[in-house]
A and B are shown apart, each in its own frame.
Chain A
Amino acid sequence: MSVITRIAREEWRALFRDRVAVVGLALLTLLMLVAALNAWEHQRNANAERARYQAQANHEFEMQPDRHPHRVAHYGHFLFRPLNPLAAFDPGIDPYTGNTLFIEAHRQNSANFGDVRQSSLLLRFGQLSPAFVLQVLAPLLLIFVGHAALARERESGTLRILLAQGITGRQLVLGKLLALSGFALLMLLPALLMLAGLVASGQAAWQPSLLLAAGYVLWLLLWSLMVVLLSGLLARSRDALLALLAVWTIGVILLPRLVPDMVSSALPLPSRFENAIHVQREYLALGNAHDPNDPTFAAFRESILKEYGVTRIEDLPVNFKGLVGFEGERLSTELFERYATATFERQAEQNRLVDHSAWLSPTLAIRRLSMTAVGTDLTSFRHFLEQGETYRYELVQRLNRLQSEKLRYADDSNPNRENRISHEHWQTFPRFDYQPQPLADTYRQTAPASLVLLVWAGLLMALTSLMGARLGTTRQ
């Protein structure tokens, strides 16, 4: 063991004599701090802004004057998606999805005002965040400082001397790996401190933070292994550098773009426009809920009359218009659900395909793990939309119930009469309270990505060990 640590110490000393390593580490740390501070502040501002908007929307909803309940159902409500504090670590798709959801009766609207449509194309260069620094830049620095770890010894002839002194190839490789992983840990340190700070201050739960930390440790270990492996396999340090840069370019820059692009053309999504037309057609076929004499609602009328044992809707103890609204909303919501679910499923299918490609490029795996752990992935966004939809349905049905109970049919169907119910009703409506995904779901969703990272690390470890063994036997 002491041989290995001695080798590691030597390599470590060499690393810190290397200007590239020191300057690179300093710059990376600086960048990480800037990224963390900026992301943290942005996240805090965004949350404050959304909370303010939500309060304003709640206030406006509750301060409505006396109104007809159906008027209120169309006045609708605005819901804002709060961000997980961990999103400071990895904003994920947050800038791409709108965070403002307008809900109203018999309509499902899209979330609007995502940053992506409000920015110049500069956003498309990526977002500065700790996740970006660790996923993209940290492996590159590892390549710069580590590509010569073994190749240098070979080039200068010291490899032969070391081996002749009785050091085994495996010990040498392990020592180099230890040094490089130590360096990687230094790069990771600011991020780990940031996570620890978030947990300690009670802003983030410890479980997802730990998952995140473990994921990135594994990710950088994987790259340390890759660097040492290629440094030992290739004869010259320059070749090792070029090969590693090629691996990095393909794995970190090229594939993460190429794969999603191919997936989206292989499994295209229906456009919003087409969906809207299809939904509207089926919606019209459901009958007109605004019109109690609509033929498609005749059967419904019969069943209601029978239920109350009366022959005319005027004799019902409740307002029939409200009941029709209730039934219409139920039917239309079923219809919207069907289309929305189909779109969500299609998107999930696309993402699954990308996730499978993580076997080719583990970058996709660490990205999945990171976004899912902090709740800035599509699944968690879907979770918000679905909660918003549930809230919408309950809100509208509550209003329909108010219409059927608080207004008389004779009044409600008189076009010359203004029908309003007291504004006090709006103040008793529950507010939207977003519940983040349960942790168990997060674990389940990140499991395949974790597996990919583990298998890659295991594979590289086996190959590196093999390379180490060969290093000792081949005569230099």
Chain B
Amino acid sequence: MKGILCELRLILRSRLSVASLLLLFMLAALAVLSGLREVASQHETLARVAPLNKQDLASVETRYPQDANGGYPAYYSFHNTWDPPSNAAFLALGMRDVAPYMLRIRALGLQAQLYEGETFNAELALPGRFDFAFVLIYLAPLFVIALLHDLVSGERQSGRLRLLLAMSDGKRLWRRRVALRYGLLLICLGLPALVGALIAGMAAGALAMTLAVIASSLAFWFGLSLLVTARGWRSSATATVLMSAWVVLTLVVPTLANVMLNRSIPVHQGVDLMLAQRQAVHGAWEIPRQETMQRFYANHPQWQDSAALPPTFHWKWYFAFHQVGDESVADQVRAYRAGLLQRQVWSDRLGWALPGVGAQAILHRLADTDLQAQLAYQDRIGVFHQQLRDFYYPYLFNEQPFGRQDYASQPQFTPREPSAYAFQPSAWGGLALAWLLFMLGGWQLAQLRPNQQ
């Protein structure tokens, strides 16, 4: 204990170390704060928008208080769907800035509505968000390097190295120094995250995993730094090598990997999907209407006893061809999603080799702000859209009048629960390797002998 206090005093006497620690703490706190603020503003937006949409639905009711078969209400009612941020979203804001987290849906073709974008300033989104994930993945390693690059060489430059290595409890001394620095950095990162988690009401399990991610990323960079610093090179050489490693692992390889991923798993079906859906929907105006109805009834026999189409326009035909349009691209939709998920799987695998990518994947999964979260929201919209169809179709196909009380019983969207984090061994494999590296680094440091120096 006395030894630790003594080391602590040594660290506190170094201006560089104190400044580094304070700065990291402040940056982490700022990131947590701005994350919390962003989440709060998303909640606010959702709260502001809900009544607006309600008024909108009410105005449809005033315009069409009594409808012969629900066609007008079904056509004009836009229903509110939303995806509230999870309790952990403040840590990693992920895709929520570029993908909509609220969408208005009506009972017409789903595929023409699902890919609607959000208004965002692409120039602001381009550099990425300043959130806790950024501090952990990009900045924290630099602070590890700043604190460890002269662990050995600094002692040599001041002429104390031989003495230290000759001491009987030399190994304990190194262990103490490393452990202390590790502990201080862990506090600088973990404390703001912990406080943020308490404010946001994050679940204990998710919090524990967040702390595990923080501890493991630090372990990786400590391991690497110790391995390099134990070579006994000059301080600036050590710093250069470590910095280069950081650049390669966090800046260069992920971008290279992204290029390769996008090349090996091309996804252009998005556009094809939309072109095909439009062709199918608008083609309905050209073919005999009965043909469309037959195609619709083939998949939905429960409505086939509905009365024959009148010579004039009928809403049930309109809704039927929209649904037929959706169904005609079902295979393409599946292929599109499979391509997207495939990309996700491969970038998760990359997390084994790249600690930054691994930490990013786990944090965003915990926060439920990644590609999977976006797809899950789309699934939820799909389910709700089906409820809308199920609700309106009896009116349309059975010629049931649609009145005030029917407006009140329209389906309501229920947001999805943020999917509970499922422990993925594949994602954590990389972090387990980080601890192995940490041990290896510690072992290397313990191998330092006075006669080698």
Contact = CB atoms under 8 A, between A and B. Distances in A.
Same assembly: yes
Given A136-B251, A277-B53, 19 more contacts: A93-B125, A113-B274, A118-B267, A118-B343, A121-B364, A124-B360, A125-B255, A128-B256, A144-B243, A238-B234, A257-B129, A260-B127, A261-B129, A265-B34, A269-B120, A271-B45, A284-B59, A350-B121, A378-B122
Interface in B133-150: 134, 138-139, 142, 146, 150
A442 interface: no
A249 interface: yes
B325 to A, nearest CB: 13
A377 B129 CA distance: 18
Interface stretch (A52-60, A162-170, A181-189, A222-230): A52-60
Interface string A260-271: 111111001111
A415 interface: yes
A127 interface: yes
B11 interface: no
A288 to B, nearest CB: 10
A74 to B, nearest CB: 8
Interface in A153-188: none
Given A260-B127, A264-B121, A416-B312, A112 B274 contact: yes
List 3 tightest A-B contacts by C-beta distance, closest first. Answer: A125-B254, A93-B122, A128-B255
Contacts of B347: 120-122
Contacts of B56: 277, 280-281
Chain A, interface size category, equals: 35 or more
Interface-central residue, A20, A121, A144, by most chain B CB under 10 Å: A121
A118 B117 CA distance: 12
B285 interface: yes
23 contacts: A31-B252, A53-B271, A53-B275, A71-B285, A74-B282, A93-B122, A96-B125, A100-B274, A112-B115, A113-B271, A120-B348, A125-B251, A125-B357, A126-B128, A132-B255, A241-B240, A257-B129, A272-B116, A350-B121, A351-B121, A351-B124, A381-B122, A415-B312
Contacts of A111: 117
A276 B104 contact: yes
Interface in B275-301: 275, 278-279, 282, 285-286
Contact of B275 (A56, A140, A281): A56
B236 interface: yes
B119 A271 contact: yes
Contacts of A57: 275
Contact of A273 (B100, B243, B311): B100
Contacts of B271: 53, 100, 113
B128 A124 contact: yes
Nearest to B53: A277
Interface of B is mostly: helix
Contacts of B267: 118
Given A140-B247, A415-B313, A416-B311, A112 B374 contact: no
Interface-central residue, A20, A115, A261, A377, by most chain B CB under 10 Å: A261
Interface residues of B, number: 94
Interface stretch (B170-178, B190-198, B257-265): B257-265
A273 B103 contact: yes
A272 B100 contact: yes
Contacts of B236: 147-148, 237-238, 241
A78 interface: yes
Contacts of A115: 262
A49 interface: yes
B160 interface: no
A65 B286 CA distance: 8
B407 interface: no
Interface-central residue, B94, B95, B126, B282, by most chain A CB under 10 Å: B126
Interface string A59-99: 01000010100010011101000000000000011001110
Given A117-B98, A237-B236, A273-B49, A126 B121 contact: no
B260 to A, nearest CB: 9
A56 B128 CA distance: 35
Contact of A126 (B98, B234, B251, B350): B251
A114 interface: yes
Contacts of B237: 20
Contacts of B129: 257, 261
A118 B340 contact: yes
A248 B286 CA distance: 63
B252 to A, nearest CB: 7
A287 to B, nearest CB: 13
Nearest to A76: B278
A447 interface: no
B117 A112 contact: yes
A115 B218 CA distance: 31
A247 interface: no
B101 to A, nearest CB: 9
Contacts of B94: 121
A130 interface: no
Interface in A342-379: 343, 347, 350-351, 354, 371, 377-378
Contacts of A343: 119
Interface string B334-369: 000000100110111010000011001100100000
A242 B15 CA distance: 13
Contacts of A238: 150, 234-236, 239
A138 to B, nearest CB: 11
A257 B255 contact: no
Given A113-B271, A121-B364, A378-B123, A272 B117 contact: yes
A75 B49 CA distance: 30
Nearest to B117: A110
